[in-house]
Amino acid sequence: MSFVLAFIALFSTVTAFDWATGNSSVWISAAAYCETNTYLTRTYKGASKGFVAKYVMDDKRDVQGFIGYLPSQSAIYVSYRGSTSIKDWVNNLEVTMTDYPRCSGCKVHHGFYKSEQGIISYVISSVKALKSAYPNYKVVVTGHSLGAALATLTSMDLKANGLDNTLFMFGSPRVGNDQFAAWASSYVGNRNRVTHYKDMVPHVPMHERFTHISGEYYEDQDHSIKQCSGYEDPTCSYQWHITNIDDHMHYLNLYMGCDAVSAEF
């Protein structure tokens, strides 16, 4: 990481953890792992109770998720699914960088960007339609794993199209280079990058050109949340050299899968 980026990170600020939005976001992110043909008809439970899905994302690159609204929070949600298919893993493995047009010197993960660009026009039009119907609702963009990377890029594009939003993501891989991390961290003010204990995914891609955006909140093994500083805080997720996949599947005391958000209470 460059000295300038480290200096900016030292003096960047983040807000206290928003448990209400965090809990709803993690439940809505987990629900994205359900079958796409159930998105519009399923009963959303737990912290997502009352959620109404209105639009389904399902394109040829296997980007899946949904867009809807949660009346109890006066919020519109965009939720991306994490990796579950061979196509998803192919996208993940496209670790070459491509130019990012919104900022000078910025580069991002080619696979993530290509996937997000394939669906973004539909997402923007869907969110605008919901904002027209619910003009006082805030917009929250969320996702887990691959879904978190797509959420990051989508958050930037929504704002560029006049749609301010809150970014709330879980177990995200790195998305871009130093310049992108610095620009994105200043462009979207309300960003929440949640990491869990020894989750391996926040450590990839491991190529030195990739850097996380700031706004990390670290969840330890007891599910306590710590507010982190900078881009790669050595006292948070970045402290671990031996990681595991099991921690990737548990966020805010919820298993990231359809079954966990479908069980009867």
Q: Domains plus CATH for the chain?
A: 3-261 (3.40.50.1820)
Q: How far is CA 127 from the centre of its chain?
A: 17
Closest to 48 in 3D by CA, of 18, 17, 79, 81: 79
The DSSP H or E segment spanning 125 is helix 110-133
Closest to 184 in 3D by CA, of 221, 146, 164, 155: 155
Which residues partner with 170 through β-bridges? 144, 194
Distance CA 1, CA 180 (A): 12
Cβ atoms within 10 A of the Cβ of 251, count?
A: 25
Distance CA 242, CA 219 (A): 16
Question: Which amino acid type is present at position 193?
Answer: R
- Phi/psi class of residue 62: alpha, beta or left (left: φ > 0; alpha: ψ in -120 to 50)? left
Report strand pairing: 216-219 vs 191-196: parallel
pLDDT tens track, the chain, 265 positions:
443 344 334 334 445 899 999 999 999 999 999 999 999 999 999 999 999 999 999 876 679 999 999 999 999 999 999 987 545 554 555 678 999 999 999 999 999 999 999 999 999 999 999 999 999 999 999 999 999 999 999 999 999 999 999 999 999 999 999 999 999 999 999 999 999 999 999 999 977 689 999 999 999 999 999 999 999 999 999 999 999 989 999 999 999 999 999 986 5
- In three-state secondary structure terms, 205 is coil
Buried b (16+ CB within 10 A) or exposed e, 153-186: bbbbbbbeeebebbbbbbbbbbbbbbbbbbbbbe
- In three-state secondary structure terms, 123 is helix
